[in-house]
Structure formats: C-alpha cells, structure tokens
Amino acid sequence: MYTMYDDHEIKNNWSSNHSSPFPTAFKVWNDYFGKGNPSPIRKDEAYYTFEIGNAAAFFVLDTRKFRSESALPKNDTTKTMLGSEQFDDLVLWLRTVQDTHTFKIIASPDPLTIQWADHDLWYGCQVERQRLLEYIKSIKNVIFLSGDRHQSLVTKFEDYGAHEFSISPFNQ
C-alpha cells in the first residue's frame, strides 16, 4: 500500500504551515505509512514516483507542504499547490516517461476539477493548474487520480486529452 498524507494527518484544512504540529505529525505519518512508499524524489520530501512495467508510470504529488497558505482568491498568480521544485520535478518526470510508458498517472490528493470554490482544491491555484494542463496537452494518456472531495467523479479535460478519476468516501 502506497500512501500520501493530507490535511487530516496534521489538522483539518491544514496547508503549508511547517510549524507545530506539522513536524511531529509528518514524522508519525512517515514512520507508519510513508516508509512503505518508494523513495521520495528529493530527500526529506514526501512526493515520489513508481512504475508498473512499461504500462504505467505514477507520480504521487504532495499538495499540502508547498501550497499557499490560502488557495483563494483564484486569480492570484503566486498561489501554488506544488511549489516550484515539485512542479519542475513533475514536468521532468512527464518528459522522461512520455514515450516509455503507456499511461502517465498523476496522483493528486486534491482534485483538479474546479467546480467548487474550496481551499482543498486546485480552485485557488488556477494559474499553476493551467500551466500543468497546458504542459500535458501534448502528452498522450495522462490520467489524474484524486480524492478528498467525499464523492466520486470522472472528469474529462477535453482540451488537454486527460481524464481525472476522483474516488473518496462519502460523508454520512
């Protein structure tokens, strides 16, 4: 089982504040779950990649540690979910696997779908989101896997040739 932490491992709706309780909570998550993941791309980070033969290559994003304190308002060009290093690592990975793997799967704890104005989505980081979608436009078979919306949905990014499958438990 591969995992990625989200806000609830730290504090509900937490984002990017590296002060307490983040260091302790991240260590606990990493000790119990993260150490079962493939090695992170960068030392002391959580995001990583893995492959299933040449059929599928996965990039698992960390959408919490680097995100802007508040993802709203949506048109602020400085807002980020990934931070510049992780974004660059993702683009480099896409370049590397675009011709070697049939499917390029990007696992995002937060949906790219932006139908809701919510701090837990890419809604407030639409400039960065658009940069990512524009980049994948020329790459075949990109699939986003996401969760955290407490509903299931499938989104087709018609203009970019990609799909998103979001599956997470419903609130009761």
pLDDT at 119: 58
Say if residues 47 and 86 touch (Cβ distance below 8 Å).
yes
Q: Is 64 in contact with 109 (CB distance < 8 Å)?
A: yes
Instruction: Say if residues 68 and 78 touch (Cβ distance below 8 Å).
Output: yes
CB contact at 8 A, 36 and 1? yes
More confident residue, 43 or 115: 43
**What is the rounded (10 degree) CA torsion for 60, 29, 114, 149?**
120
For the whole model, what pTM was predicted? 0.91
Whether 138 shows a pLDDT value over 90: the answer reads yes
pLDDT digits (tens, 9 = 90+) for 9-59: 888 777 777 888 889 999 999 999 999 999 999 998 999 999 999 999 999
- pLDDT at position 116 is 64
**Topology of the domain covering 7-166:** Purple Acid Phosphatase; chain A, domain 2 (3.60.21)
Share of the chain above pLDDT 90, in %: 58
